[in-house]
Amino acid sequence: MSTPPVISEKQSLYQDDPLLPTYDQQTPTPPRSSAQKGKKALLNLLGLCVAGYLTLSFINSTSGLSSALANSGSAPHTQSTCQQSPILTPRGNLTDVYAGDSKERIIQWLSGAVQIPTEAYDDMADVEGDARFKVFGDFHNYLEEKFPALYKTLSVEKVNTYALAYEWKGSNPSLKPLFLTAHQDVVPVERSTVHDWQHPPFSGHYDGEYIWGRGASDDKTGLISIMSAVELLIESGFKPTRSLVLAYGFDEECGGKVVKHSPPGAAALGKHLEQKYGKDSMLMLVDEGSGLDERYGQTIAEPSTGKKGYLDVELSIATPGGHSSVPPPHTGIGLLALAINELEANPVPAHMDRKNPLYSALQCYAHYGNLDKEVKDVLKKAGGGGKKGDKALKKLTDIIAKMGGGAKAHVTTTRAVDIVRGGVKVNALPELSQAVINHRINPASSVAELQDQMIQVLQPLTEQYELSFHAFGNKISELKDARGTLTLAEAYNSALEPAPISPSTTDSFAWNLLSGSAKDTWTSRKGADHTDLIMVPGLGIGNTDTKRYWNLTSNIYRFGYLLRADADGIHTVNEHVKADAVVEAVRFMQRLILNADEYDGN
């Protein structure tokens, strides 16, 4: 097979951007993540992997698709043995993505997609009023040009101008469609960092091993892998029995915030799809998410079966102005600093219940992995229930919380003060001082519980400094001679409850379908003697467009068939992805589509 030609930076569709200069460089060696050796297994698994080398044994059934997916009831939240789904191999219509020019086409498709700078900014207005959205029209034209069979075969709808919805109608309308989604937008490139990139950020440069550029892995690999899988299946003559629905928003990277009365991106798509197909109308949904990790001698895949909730809070303090030569003990900015200090000094307490996907993941690692003996013992006691079990669960939560950083984030509501503003003149007292505080809500908590916690923390401060206190539309206290007013309010229409938890055990057809397709993709490429892939449920601490699709299915999985070591630079300089990994993602998408099509249940 011939090697695909190197795509030069000078071929970029947007090479005229003066902030994105083209230049020639010697191809560098892409940075690789080094294995973190010597750390405890629990700390590493909370980073979506487990440390050390694992010796695993599991149920490797060879039964067929119908028996593997037969049970469609709701799965329990935990199972002590962490049973593994069997490998599911489609009966036919698989295309060899490494044969002929298929691999070259996939690489070129992604490279060209990266060259179109579909950047999404937090301050973008309605689609009709902001010229920065127009680049998405160029991206639509690119997709139509590069995937002609798909555009000829599938119906295509544009929702709110730039969101895309496709349907490949199956022959049996009684079967619920498989729903695959990704997002078109990318994180903006900080122009001051352009010269830190080893290849210009919108070059789509392919060096023979990696494809470079913003969006190469997040999330144009996801989008292009879906499009490529469908295009190649159509070319192979495949005709679906079960319908396939694809949807691509355009504002995932700015949170999909609703602007005025015009819900952009995935919010508009979710509303459109629900009106068209109805509630609970999809078989299952697969979106971007965590992938695969093989650094520890055993490949682990950890699809997110749940997501934390979300709330941005604007903290405002209004105080009388005046000349700075006669200041009060605390200016508005000083009071704001005191309020921030109170919130940071009183974080939301850590808490984990048995519905948290992390608990299920720990059960899996305890069964198969090399967790500390103390953690295994606590897990065993926690599984017993009753007062002793609850006490053990609390101890387990405390162990995780004391690890700090990313580990603690899995068992608490996080709080981050990210924006501060106040004052307009150095000799004038500030009249309005504000901070915006980001929260990611524990799956065992709620928006209302978080709001109550903030009120309880700040109320003593407002009493001490004689401030009126308004919070989330309610007047907590109103002082006649107040020295100012402290107000808490939801910012950016951001409130989001924690996501419903998707099933993750072998009595769920959806989990079997996802797991079996991933396992078949892995073993068919690596060979029968290669250690099998282990599927573990996980908790996502960020959010994706799936938050707009909750009404469409209870089987929602955030999972990208991509090895951790094959992609780097997400949301920063030098984003790149291994070309072979993109091809493997296409192989997974084909198997998922075909396996879903061969399943005759709903």
The CATH number linked to 455 is 3.30.70.360
Check residue 53 and give its pLDDT: 24
Same domain, 332 and 451: yes
Same domain, 154 and 281: yes
- 178 inside domain: yes
For 240, the enclosing helix (H) or strand (E) is none
Which domain range does residue 452 map to?
A: 309-348+413-490
d(CA 376, CA 357): 17
- 387 inside domain: no
Of 440, 464, 490, the domain-final residue? 490
Q: What is the average per-residue pLDDT within 163-175?
A: 98
pLDDT 10s digits, 114-123: 999 999 988 8
Task: Say if residue 38's pLDDT is above 50.
Answer: no
Confidence of residue 15 (pLDDT cuts 50, 70, 90): very low
* Secondary structure string (H, E, C) spanning 77-92: CCCCCCCCCCCCCCCC
Q: What is the DSSP letter of 498?
A: P
Check residue 66 and give its pLDDT: 37
- 265 inside domain: yes
Of residues 240, 203, 241, the one with CA closest to residue 111: 203
d(CA 207, CA 33): 19
Residue pair 265/533 in contact by the 8 Å Cβ criterion: no
d(CA 269, CA 166): 11
Q: Of 193 and 41, which is predicted with more confidence?
A: 193
- 385 inside domain: no
Looking at residue 344, its amino acid is E
Query: Which CATH number goes with the domain that contains 568?
Result: 3.40.630.10
d(CA 96, CA 524): 11
**What does the mean pLDDT of the chain come to?**
86
Q: What is the average per-residue pLDDT within 158-173?
A: 97
Task: Say if residue 143's pLDDT is above 50.
Answer: yes
Check residue 85 and give its pLDDT: 93
Confidence of residue 58 (pLDDT cuts 50, 70, 90): very low
Confidence of residue 99 (pLDDT cuts 50, 70, 90): confident
Residue pair 52/371 in contact by the 8 Å Cβ criterion: no
- 69 inside domain: yes
d(CA 105, CA 147): 11
Check residue 262 and give its pLDDT: 54
- 82 inside domain: yes
Task: Say if residue 243's pLDDT is above 80.
Answer: yes
Q: What is the DSSP letter of 7?
A: B
Q: What is the average per-residue pLDDT within 333-337?
A: 98
Give bridge partners of residue 577 from the DSSP assignment: 211, 567
Q: Of 119 and 22, which is predicted with more confidence?
A: 119
Same domain, 260 and 315: no
Check residue 10 and give its pLDDT: 41
Confidence of residue 530 (pLDDT cuts 50, 70, 90): low
Q: What is the average per-residue pLDDT within 72-95?
A: 68
Q: Of 74 and 446, which is predicted with more confidence?
A: 446
3-state secondary structure of 304: strand
Residue pair 496/310 in contact by the 8 Å Cβ criterion: yes
Same domain, 301 and 313: no
Q: What amino acid positions are annotated as catalytic residues?
A: 185, 252
Count the alpha carbons within 13 Å of 155 in the hemisphere toward its beta carbon: 8
Most confident by average pLDDT, 30-34, 404-408, 559-563: 559-563
- 378 inside domain: no
Same domain, 437 and 503: no
Of 442, 466, 490, the domain-final residue? 490
Q: What is the average per-residue pLDDT within 480-502?
A: 94
Same domain, 466 and 321: yes
Query: Within its chain, how far is the Cα of 174 from the centroid?
Result: 31
Lowest-confidence segment of 103-117, 217-231, 370-384 by average pLDDT: 370-384
Q: What is the average per-residue pLDDT within 297-309?
A: 89
d(CA 412, CA 349): 6
Look up residue 431 and give its two tokens.
């009249």
Task: Say if residue 286's pLDDT is above 50.
Answer: yes
* Rg value, the chain, Cα: 26
Of residues 342, 458, 358, 448, the one with CA closest to residue 409: 358
Residue pair 282/274 in contact by the 8 Å Cβ criterion: no
Check residue 545 and give its pLDDT: 94
Task: Say if residue 540's pLDDT is above 80.
Answer: yes
336: Cβ contacts below 8 Å, ≥ 6 apart = 315, 317, 420, 422, 433, 434, 435
d(CA 75, CA 509): 9
Same domain, 449 and 592: no
Check residue 92 and give its pLDDT: 79
Task: Say if residue 443's pLDDT is above 70.
Answer: yes
d(CA 438, CA 453): 14
Same domain, 95 and 238: yes
Check residue 543 and give its pLDDT: 85
Q: What is the average per-residue pLDDT within 555-573?
A: 94
Spell 155-180 as b/e; 16+ CB within 10 A means b: eeeebbbbbbbbbbebeeeebbbbbb
Same domain, 515 and 578: yes
Check residue 403 and give its pLDDT: 84
Of 490, 508, 534, the domain-final residue? 490
206: Cβ contacts below 8 Å, ≥ 6 apart = 4, 6, 7, 107, 111, 212, 579
Same domain, 55 and 196: yes
- 406 inside domain: no
Same domain, 576 and 514: yes
d(CA 174, CA 220): 32
Look up residue 558 and give its two tokens.
């955030």
For the chain, how many structural domains are there in total?
2
Check residue 493 and give its pLDDT: 86
Q: What is the average per-residue pLDDT within 321-330?
A: 95
3-state secondary structure of 576: strand
Helices and strands, counts by H and E, the chain: 15, 19
Confidence of residue 255 (pLDDT cuts 50, 70, 90): confident
Q: What is the average per-residue pLDDT within 86-103?
A: 90
Check residue 549 and give its pLDDT: 97
Task: Say if residue 275's pLDDT is above 60.
Answer: yes
Lowest-confidence segment of 30-34, 286-290, 316-320, 428-432 by average pLDDT: 30-34
d(CA 101, CA 2): 8
Residue 17 φ/ψ, nearest 5 degrees = -65, 115
Same domain, 426 and 550: no
Supply the DSSP string of 171-231, one letter for each residue.
Answer: S-TTSPPEEEEEE--BPPP-GGGGGGSSS-TTS--B-SSEEESTTTTTTHHHHHHHHHHHH
Strands lying side by side in the sheet with 576-578: 210-212, 576-578, 567-568
